[in-house]
Amino acid sequence: MISLVKKLYRQNQEKRRNKATDAYYNRSAPKAYQALIKQLPDHTLTTKQETEIETYAADVLGSASFSPWLKVFTACRGEFKEGWMPLDYWARIVCPTLNGSLQPLGKIKTLTQKFLNAEELPDLAYYVKGNWVMASGEKTTQETLRKTLFDGHPNVFLKQDNTSRGGGVMKLDADQFSKLDFEKLGDFVIQSPIETHDFFKKLSPSAVPSLRVTTYKAYAQPARVVQSGIRLGLVSTPYIYEDECIRIAIRIEDGVTNEYGFSGDWQILKAHSETGVSITGLKVPKYQEIKKRCEMLHDQNPHFGLIAWDMTVDKNDQIKIMEWNTVTPSYNMDEAAIGPHFKGLGFEDFWKRKNPGR
Amino acid sequence: MSILHLLKKRFRASRQKRWNRIFDQSHIKRVQNGLQVLADQGKKLSSVDSKKAEEYSVEVLGSIDFAPWLKLYSAFRGEFLEGWIPDNYLGRVVCPAINGDLKDLSSYKTLSKQLLQTETLPDLVYLIKGTWLTAERLGTTFDEVKSICFDHYPFVYLKRNFSFQGNGILKLYPKDFDGIEFDKLGDFVIQAPIFQHPFMEEISPGAVATLRITTVKQNQKPAETRLCGLRIGREGMNYIDTKGAMRIPVDPNFGKLYPSAITANWQLLETHPDTKVPFEGKTIPYFKEATQLCESIHERFPHIQLIGWDAAITDQGQVKLMEWNTDQPGIVYSESSIGPHFKELGWEDLWKN
What CATH number is given to the structural domain containing B154? 3.30.1490
Contacts of A137 in chain B (CB under 8 A): 117, 300
Q: Is the dihedral of CA B265, B53, B212, B322 positive or negative?
A: positive
Measure Cα distances from B13 to A13, A354, B141, B227 in Å. Answer: 17, 29, 52, 34
Q: Tell me: do B261 and B203 sit in the same domain.
A: yes
Higher pLDDT, A166 or A158: A158
Contact A294, A322 (CB under 8 A): no
Q: Is residue B136 part of a domain?
A: yes
B/e letters for B6-25, b = 16+ CB within 10 Å, e = fewer, are eeeeeeeeeeeeeeeeeebe
Whether the link from the prior residue into A238 is cis, omega within 30° of 0, is no
Q: What are the CA-CA distances from residue A247 to residues A156, A229, A276, A279 (Å)? A: 25, 7, 15, 10
- Residue in chain B lying closest to A127 (CA): B302
- Specify if B94 maps to a domain: no
Residue A356: is the preceding peptide bond cis (ω within 30°)?
Answer: no
Mean pLDDT of A225-233: 94
What is the structure's pLDDT at B167? Answer: 74
Contacts of A187 in chain B (CB under 8 A): 303
The interface predicted TM-score (ipTM) is: 0.89
CB nearest A137 (choices: B104, B117, B128): B117
Q: Give the nearest partner residue to A139 out of B138, B299, B303, using CB atoms.
A: B299
Q: Which residue has the higher pLDDT, B90 or A136?
A: B90
**Cα separation values, B239 from A342, B189, B206, B230, Å:** 46, 16, 8, 14
**How sure is the predictor about A357, in pLDDT bands with cuts at 50, 70 and 90?**
low
Residues B107, B255 share a domain: yes
Maximum separation of any 2 CA atoms in chain B, in Å: 71
- Of B170, B214, B236, B244, the closest CA to residue B311 belongs to B214
A 183-202 → B contacts, CB under 8 A:
187
| Contact criterion met (CB below 8 Å) for A249 and A228 | yes
In the 3-class helix/strand/coil scheme, how is chain B assigned residue by residue?
CCHHHHHHHHHHHHHHHHHHHHHHHHHHHHHHHHHHHHHHCCCCCCHHHHHHHHHHHHHHHCCHHHHHHHHHHHHHHCCCCCCCCCHHHHHHHHHHHHHHHHHHHHHCCCCHHHHHCCCCCCEEEEEECCEEEECCCCECCHHHHHHHHHCCCCCEEEEECCCCCCCCEEEECHHHHCCCCHHHHCCEEEECCCCECHHHHHHCCCCCCEEEEEEECCCCCCCEEEEEEEEECCCCCCCCCCCCCEEEEECCCCCEECCCEEECCCCEECECCCCCCECCCCECCCHHHHHHHHHHHHHCCCCCCEEEEEEEEECCCCEEEEEEECCCCCCHHHHHHHCCCCCCCCHHHHHHC
* pLDDT of amino acid A34: 97
Residue B96 lies in a domain: no
| Candidate from A45-49, A89-93, B13-17, B145-149 with smallest mean pLDDT | B13-17
The answer to whether position B43 is within a domain reads: yes
Domains and CATH numbers, chain A: 2-98 (no CATH), 100-109+195-347 (3.30.470.20), 123-191 (3.30.1490)
User: Is the same domain home to B181 and B231?
Assistant: no
Instruction: Please indicate, yes or no, whether residues B210 and B235 belong to a single structural domain of this protein.
Output: yes
Phi-psi region of B11 (alpha: psi -120 to 50; beta: other; left: phi over 0): alpha
Q: Are B268 and B147 in the same domain?
A: no
Q: Looking at the partner chain, which of A108, A187, A220 has a beta carbon nearest the beta carbon of B131?
A: A220
Q: Do B129 and A115 touch (CB under 8 A)?
A: no
For A160, list phi and psi in degrees, rounded to 5.
-80, 150
Q: What is the pLDDT of residue A275?
A: 85
pLDDT tens, B261-270? Answer: 999 999 999 9
* Closest by Cα among A44, A64, A45 to A54: A64
Nearest to A287 by CA among A319, A255, A310, A259: A255
pLDDT at A138: 87
Same domain, yes or no: B163 and B217: no
Assess contact for A137 and B300: CB atoms under 8 A.
yes
Q: Which of A115, A299, A305 sits opposite B139 (nearest CB)?
A: A299
> In angstroms, how far is CA A91 from the centroid of its own chain?
12
Domain membership of residue B255 as a residue range: 101-115+195-352
Question: Residue B152 class from Cβ within 10 Å (0-12 exposed, 13-18 middle, 19+ buried)?
Answer: exposed
A291 near A213, Cβ under 8 Å?
yes
Q: How many domains does chain B have?
A: 3
Measured in angstroms, the CA of A198 and the nearest CA of chain B are apart by 34
Closest CA to B68 of B79, B82, B83, B57: B57
Find the residue in B nearest to A141 (Cα).
B220
Residue B89 lies in a domain: no
Give me the phi and psi of B59, to 5 degrees please.
-75, -45
CB contact under 8 A, A299 and B131: yes
When the pLDDT of each residue in chain B is averaged and rounded to a whole number, the result is 94
Question: B341 CA to chain A: closest CA distance, Å?
Answer: 22
Q: Per the CB < 8 Å rule, is B110 touching A139?
A: no
Q: Which residues of B touch A217 (CB under 8 A)?
A: 129, 131
Residues in CB range of B99: below 8 A, 6 or more apart: B304, B305, B306, B326, B327
Are A56 and A312 within 8 A, CB to CB? no
Domain boundary among B145, B169, B191: B191
Q: Specify the pLDDT at position B96.
A: 93
Q: Sheet holding A224-233: strands in order across? A: A268-269, A256-262, A245-251, A224-233, A210-216, A306-313, A319-325
Note the pLDDT of residue A205.
77
Cα angle for residues B91, B107, B235 (degrees, 5° grid)? 90
Does B328 lie in the same domain as B249? Answer: yes
Query: Which of the listed residues B139, B163, B191 is the one where a domain comes to its end?
Result: B191
User: For residue A179, what pLDDT is reported?
Assistant: 87
Higher pLDDT, A11 or A98: A98
B126, β-bridge pairs: B133, B189
Distance to chain B for A219, nearest Cα, Å: 5
- What average pLDDT does the segment A155-160 reach? 92
User: How many other β-carbons are positioned within 10 Å of the β-carbon of residue A201?
Assistant: 14
In this structure, the answer to whether residues B233 and B310 fall within a common structural domain is yes
Considering the domain boundaries, does residue B173 fall inside one? yes
Q: Which residues contact B321 (CB under 8 A, 6 or more apart)?
A: B116, B118, B120, B121, B293, B294, B297, B309, B310, B311
B303 and A129 within 8 Å at the Cβ level: the answer is: yes
In whole angstroms, give the CA distance from residue A283 to residue A228.
13
Residue B227: closest CA among B83, B332, B90, B109: B332
**Distance (Å) from the C-alpha of residue B18 to the closest C-alpha of chain A?**
14
Chain A residues in contact with B129 by the CB 8 A cut-off are 217, 219-220, 302-303, 305
pLDDT of residue B165: 65
- Give yes or no for A16 touching B (CB within 8 A): no
Q: What is the mean pLDDT of residues A28-38?
A: 97
Whether A114 and B117 lie within 8 Å, measured CB to CB: yes
pLDDT along chain B (353 residues), means of 10: 80 88 95 97 97 98 97 98 97 94 93 96 97 95 94 95 80 90 93 95 90 95 97 84 88 97 96 93 97 97 96 96 94 97 96 90
Tell whether A326 is within 8 A of chain B (Cβ): no
Phi, psi values for residue B90, rounded to 5°: -60, -45
Q: Which residues of chain A does B128 touch, with a Cβ-Cβ cutoff of 8 Å?
A: 302-303
Pairing state between β A139-140 and A268-269: unpaired
CA distances from B221 to A62, B304, B345 (A): 51, 13, 11
* A110 → closest Cβ in B128, B217, B303: B303
Tell me the pLDDT band of A2, cut-offs 50, 70 and 90: confident
Is the CB of A108 inside 8 Å of chain B's CB atoms? yes
Distance from C-alpha of B146 to C-alpha of B149, rounded to nearest angstrom = 5
User: Do B325 and B215 have their domain in common?
Assistant: yes
Residues of chain A in contact with residue B104, where contact means CB-CB under 8 angstroms, are: 101
Q: Give percent above pLDDT 90 in chain A.
A: 73
- The answer to whether B302 contacts A133, with C-beta atoms less than 8 Å apart, is yes
pLDDT of residue B287: 98
Asked whether residue B90 is assigned to any structural domain, the reply reads no
Q: pLDDT band for A356, please (50, 70, 90 cuts).
A: low
Co-location of B179 and B235 in the same domain: no
Pair B201, B343 in one domain: yes
Global confidence as pTM: 0.92
Question: Is residue A111 within 8 angstroms of chain B, CB to CB?
Answer: yes
pLDDT value for A20: 93
B154, B176, B191 — which closes off a domain? B191
**For residue A243, pLDDT beyond 80:** no
Give dist(CA A89, CA A79) in Å, integer: 20
Give me the helix-helix angle, A29-39 and A68-77, nearest 10°.
20
Summarised one tens digit per residue, pLDDT across range A271-312 is 988 888 999 999 999 999 999 999 999 999 999 999 999 999
Probe site for chain A from B109, B128, B184, B185 (most A CB atoms < 10 A): B128
Residues 17-56 of A with CB under 8 A from B: none
Do B142 and B111 sit in the same domain of this protein? no
What residues of chain A, 203 to 232, have a C-beta less than 8 Å from chain B? 217, 219-222
Lowest mean pLDDT among A131-140, A314-323, B22-31, B281-290: A131-140
Cross-chain Cβ contact B187/A303 below 8 Å: yes
pLDDT tens track for A169-209? 888 888 888 888 888 889 999 999 999 999 998 888 778 88
Q: Could you give the CA distance from residue A226 to residue A252 in angstroms, rounded to a whole number? A: 7
Asked if residue B295 is part of any domain, the answer here is: yes
Region of poorest pLDDT, from A114-118, A215-219, B216-220, B234-238? B234-238
